Structure 1
Amino acid sequence: MTSVPVKEIALGVESFGDEDAPLVLLAGGTTMLSWPDALCARLAAGGRRVVRYDLRDSGESTTADPEAPAYTLRDLAADAAGLVDALGGGPAHLAGIGVGGMVAQVAALDHPGAFCALTLAGTRPVAPGPPDDDLPDHDGATMGRLFARPMPDWTDREAVADFVAAGAEILGDDPVAARATAARIWDRTPGTAAPVQTANQLGMVFARLDCAPRWRERLPAIEVPTLVVHGRRNRFFPVGNGEALAREIPGARLLVLDEAATAIPDTAADEVADAMLTLGRP
């Protein structure tokens, strides 16, 4: 892992595969570890240069004030395009998961020349907050259980890992895998202050971003081959959100993972990688 300067900030990155191969850029949601190792390795084995990266205020990327971010969603989209330039591998296949999928949508719309393909995993076509009337919202009972829990002691690595694992179980994800990832994220987090930890572990900084203007109405302007990946058991962004993306982006392919929730499980890495590697082929 290292960091790459992009304009006035630095973005934490990790690379897999041949540096001369076509570039696949994986936007974190919010950290790069939202993208499982198994999927990165499978894409690299398929002849791609894979670079996963941390969004601002997470991981090895520039951290300022997660409680009052001085940047917008469109700045995060510009970061993705700037990273392609810095890496020298454009145009790139851009993939975003969760909130990173929102970044990826806006990046593809605002910087079309930087990207040749798009993968959107476990995300939706509108910003954090109440969704449009035709989109399913977070499952109420699940959110009630998730947010009723007291926050952990953010200075205690094991307590944080346990907290995240319990949340993953509520969401329908693998708690063992989530616990291991949370411990890795804790190790990479620059400090134990609660706002910084919640930005890394829970992505709470994203709810404080200026995400205007809306971009959903612009989705038909996306011209690159697009794959939408969504877990059928996703209770945070129910599958109807992925179905809407696939309808509104011309020619998009929808891949529903029947046994997945919010995370891409290692058991689905081959299926997702194969779909990404063949994106755009007849």
Structure 2
Amino acid sequence: MGEPQLLTANGVNLCAQSFGDHRDPAVLLIGGAGCAMDYWAVDFCDQLATAGRFVIRYDLRDTGRSVDYPPGEPTYTSRDLAGDAIGVLDALGVTAGHIVGISMGGGLAQLLSLTNPDRVASLTLLSTTAIGPVGDELPGPSAALAEHFGDPPTEPKWRDNAAVIDYLVEDLRAYAGTLPADEFALRELVQTIVLRTNNIESSVKNHAMLPDDKALPVLRMSAIAAPTLIMHGTADPLFPIEHGHALARAIPDARFVALEGVGHEVPPRALWPQVIGELIRHTAAAVE
């Protein structure tokens, strides 16, 4: 495991960390909105690396130790965030990577596959939805999550770390599935993130406020050529599982795997054997 390092990628400073042998196939992990690289647990990355993958995780803009912008004032677009992923690959000398994206990161991974197909050896999409038309009317958030959106936790004083940790833990609970929760591990993760983030208010707010990218072309899911694996929780309250099935129908030859009891979250540790096994299988097949 390498130490976290600040890279100049796509013209900005991004914090990244790698695991394993640079000569092995590269797996780039892209987090969701407001998610620092810590959501991809060190143990998870180590297990992938032990199986023969060069694993890269990084802080998106406005998360962790990467470049941050004033709260409520992001001046970058989703295309910039996708370009950052390419910039991380460039900075680490990776020609093409196996791209794994969750939630918003899954949208960025789709965008990469459509705009920079030569840099995507394979595509894995977790807990996400299509960024282009799929021809299906898809369900919205669960009633419980919709109620949470309507009555969110009271915004904390952002310089009060303890209050911010409580706020984020409460918010994350709303996205969990039906598997038993490890409250201690969740709180420990959130504490780590809060303490290492440059501007936690920007991290929480800015990805939901990105300006529209009017320069984006029309996006067709059928144009994704990378071998694609879709893993989706059966208890996802934000993007119900129909979103994953629709993606699998829209992307040619995509393979779908249901994750039993998983919500809108990085797969819990109990599911790691399944998820890591599927990732190893998928990334191996893509280079055979």
Q: Under a length normalisation based on structure 2, what TM-score does the superposition of the two structures give?
A: 0.86
SS at match of 1:5: strand
Matched, 1:198 2:204: yes
2:101 equivalent among 96, 112, 124: 96
Which residue is 1:106 aligned to? Answer: 111
Q: Does 1:246 align with 2:251?
A: no
- Tell me which amino acid in the other structure corresponds to 2:276: A
Using a 3 Å threshold, how does the CA distance of structure 1 residues 209 and 43 change in structure 2: closer, same or farther? Answer: farther
Q: Is the 8 A contact 1:67 1:205 kept in 2?
A: no
* Paired residue secondary structure (1:229): strand
The residue aligned with 2:53 is 48
Number of the residue aligned with 2:88? 83
- Residues 246, 253 of structure 1: 8 Å contact kept: yes
In structure 1, the partner of 2:29 is 26
CA shift, 1:83, in A, is 1.7
How many angstroms apart in 1 are the aligned matches of 2:173 and 2:135? Answer: 27
User: What is the distance in 2 between the residues matched to 1:132 and 1:65?
Assistant: 38
Kept after mapping to 1: 8 A contact 2:136/2:246? no
**Greater Cα shift, 169-178 or 222-231:** 169-178
Instruction: Confirm or deny: 8 A CA contact 1:39 1:272 kept in the other structure.
Output: no
Q: CA deviation at 1:206?
A: 3.2
Following TM superposition, where does structure 1 have runs of at least 4 consecutive aligned residues deviating by more than 6 angstroms? 213-216
The percentage of counterpart residues that share the same residue type is 34
Q: Secondary structure at the match of 2:231?
A: strand
Q: Structure 2 CA distance, aligned partners of 1:215 and 1:239? A: 27
Closer, same or farther: CA 118–151 of 1 in aligned 2, 3 Å? same
1:198 maps to a residue whose letter is V
Q: Which stretch has the larger CA shift, 114-123 or 162-171?
A: 162-171
Q: 2:169 aligns with which of 165, 173, 178?
A: 165
Q: Which amino acid is the alignment partner of residue 112 of structure 1?
A: P
Gaps of 5+ in 1: none
Does structure 2 retain, via aligned residues, the 8 Å contact 1:27–1:53? yes
- 2:262 is the alignment partner of 1:260: yes
Bigger CA drift: 89-98 or 172-181?
Answer: 172-181
1:155 aligns with 2:159: yes
Specify the SS of the correspondent of 1:25.
strand
Partner SS state of residue 257, structure 2: strand
Q: Do structure 1's residue 15 and structure 2's residue 18 form an aligned pair?
A: yes
Residue 213 of structure 1: how far off its partner (Å): 6.4
- Asked if the contact 1:232–1:238 (Cα under 8 Å) also holds between the matched residues in 2, the reply is yes
Q: Secondary structure at the match of 2:208?
A: helix
Given residue 157 of structure 2, which amino acid in structure 1 is its aligned partner? D
Query: 1:3 aligned to 2:6?
Result: yes
Q: CA deviation at 1:66?
A: 4.4
Shift of 1:211: 4.6
Equivalenced residues, count: 273
How much has 1:113 moved relative to structure 2? 0.7
1:229 to 215, 228, 231: 231
Counterpart of 2:282 in 1: which secondary structure?
coil
Judging changes above 3 Å, is the alpha-carbon distance between structure 1 residues 17 and 216 closer, same or farther for their aligned structure 2 residues? Answer: farther
Residue 278 of structure 1 aligns to a residue in which SS? helix
- Aligned equivalents of 1:125, 1:136: Cα separation in 2: 13
Change (3 A) 1:122 1:207: farther
User: Does residue 1:138 correspond to 2:144, yes or no?
Assistant: no
State the TM-score, normalized to the length of structure 1.
Answer: 0.88
Match of 2:187 among 145, 164, 179: 179
The question of whether the paired residues in 2 share the 8 Å contact of 1:11 and 1:61 is answered with: yes
Kindly state the Cα deviation for residue 38 of structure 1 after the two structures are TM-superposed: 3.1
Q: What amino acid is aligned across from residue 176 of structure 2 in structure 1?
A: G
Q: In structure 2, do the counterparts of structure 1 residues 262 and 133 end up closer, same or farther at CA, with 3 Å as the change threshold?
A: same
Q: What is the Cα deviation at residue 257 of structure 1?
A: 0.7
Task: Give the corresponding residue for 2:210.
Answer: 208
Q: Which amino acid aligns with 2:191?
A: A
Who is 1:71 aligned against? 76
* Structure 1 residue 43 displacement after superposition: 0.8
Name the structure 2 match of 1:58: 63
Cα-to-partner distance string for 1:136-180 (whole Å, 9 max, x where unaligned): 212243232255121223222222222222223332253443322
